[in-house]
Structure 1
Amino acid sequence: MTATIADSIYDRLSQRIITGELPAGEKLRQDHIARAFDTSHVPVREALLRLQAHGLAHSEPRRGMRVTALDPAEVREVIEMRVALESLALQHAIQNLTPADLKAADKARIACDEAQDMPTWETRNRAFHRAILTPCARPRLLHTIDDLHIASARHLFAHWRHRWVQRKDTDHAAIVQAMKRRDTATATAILVRHIRRAS
């Protein structure tokens, strides 16, 4: 599917919000964004509505759209939802695994381990989780998990940006090994521990 201007605007703004480059409370001015992307207000409005739908921005009457604040209670809710939904997705994914799926998961794991900075690692970490869960073949479930990862990413950047160090993720490796054995219970248990540890 070809990316639209609205997709490009959303991707750029969401990444800037996730990394903290656009802080909580920052006003998202349609005219400034339209000029920056050399486009009309129509795709900008579409991108801002998507940011709002994903909890990254909120609309204030007569004050326009602003970046939302990080809410500790929301972070706890996101972690609990990820535990429940990613466990469900992984259980179904293991039932459907093909050799190509396992190869994709291993490739995503290695790429994540090789990240040289936190923004690259965070993007590749999301890609790894997507790779191990995609075989579940449940688009609505995967879409919801993708949204939860966006919320989790803001928390990770806010609390780990200055403490991040490059390392091999032993949880990722253990999950892939359990998947290769079709050991659903072990893979799910490690995934749950891994998600909770991030909180």
Structure 2
Amino acid sequence: MATADRVQAQIMDKMLRGEFAPGSWLRQDELAARFGVSKIPVREALQRLVAIGLLNLEPNRGVVVPHLTAAEANETFELRRSIEPLLLERSIEQLTIIDLAEAEMALGEVGGSVPASNWVFHRALYRSSGWERGLAIVHILQVAVAPYVALYTEGLGGAQQSDAEHRALLELCRSKDLPGAMMVLMDHLQHAQTVLADFLDGGLGDG
């Protein structure tokens, strides 16, 4: 893996885990020291992340993790609702014992990052679709949605409902019930989107 690719993956992972919070400025020299590389691959990685919408470039100021907004929440969840059902539809009949076990383990993780576990859970259910490009898009969306998932589960009391919906989805996937799984997935995403957009529209977001 090229150095810039590795740095990009590391930044995305830290965003997924909440280590780079919304509003954080990502400085090339600090990241280079942190990852033990020169500034050149860091600059390339940041440019790529700006290009795919995970970071914002502020002229004369630098690169910043986007603030939370209702518009961003709606866009990201709408995209998830458009793409993830396609992957689930293609994967549900192909799910292996390993896929299901990994999804179940993600639900049982405690003390870690909820958004990171959320990605592990959904990835396990979608990867048997065979759509590598689609899975890569969902990964980007999961990184983008990570601070919203953290807000929903940890700040807005959505953890219990989200966990219940994930467990219901897993059982429906285990029994190969595609209509039921699709309904739970869509309701799961729609509910989180509605709660977040209503909260952020109320002017209570971080910017």
TM bin (shorter chain):
0.7 to 0.9
Post-superposition CA distance 1:108-146 (Å, at most 9, x none): 232122211251x32222111111111221222222121
Q: Residue in 2 aligned with 1:111?
A: 105
SS of equivalent residue, structure 2 residue 64 = strand
- Structure 1 unmatched runs, 5+: none
Closer/same/farther in 2, CA of residues 196 and 104 from structure 1, 3 Å limit = farther
Q: Residue in 2 aligned with 1:142?
A: 135
SS of equivalent residue, structure 1 residue 65 = strand
SS of equivalent residue, structure 1 residue 161 = helix
Q: Is the 8 A contact 1:113 1:168 kept in 2?
A: no
Larger mean CA deviation between 183-192 and 63-72 belongs to 63-72
Q: For the residues of structure 1 that align with 2:22 and 2:115, how far apart are their CA atoms?
A: 20
Q: Is the 8 A contact 2:22 2:147 kept in 1?
A: no
Is the counterpart of residue 62 in structure 1 residue 56 in structure 2?
no
* Aligned equivalent of 1:123, options 87, 112, 116: 116
Is the counterpart of residue 132 in structure 1 residue 130 in structure 2?
no
Post-superposition CA distance 1:63-93 (Å, at most 9, x none): 2222222221111121122112111111111
* Aligned equivalent of 1:181, options 166, 175, 179: 175
Closer/same/farther in 2, CA of residues 77 and 165 from structure 1, 3 Å limit = closer
Q: Is the 8 A contact 1:108 1:124 kept in 2?
A: no
> What is the percent sequence identity of the aligned residues?
30
Q: How many residues get paired?
A: 192
TM-superposed CA distance for 1:26, in Å, is 3.2
Alignment-mate amino acid for residue 148 of structure 2: H
Q: Is the 8 A contact 1:89 1:136 kept in 2?
A: yes
TM-superposed CA distance for 1:34, in Å, is 1.6
Is the counterpart of residue 152 in structure 1 residue 156 in structure 2?
no
**RMSD of the alignment, in Å?**
2.7
Closer/same/farther in 2, CA of residues 102 and 171 from structure 1, 3 Å limit = farther
The TM-score, its normalising length taken from structure 1, stands at 0.80
Closer/same/farther in 2, CA of residues 7 and 132 from structure 1, 3 Å limit = same
Q: Residue in 2 aligned with 1:9?
A: 7
Q: Is the 8 A contact 2:89 2:178 kept in 1?
A: yes
Q: Residue in 1 aligned with 2:79?
A: 81
The TM-score, its normalising length taken from structure 2, stands at 0.78
Alignment-mate amino acid for residue 143 of structure 1: A
Closer/same/farther in 2, CA of residues 11 and 164 from structure 1, 3 Å limit = farther
* Aligned equivalent of 1:29, options 10, 13, 27: 27
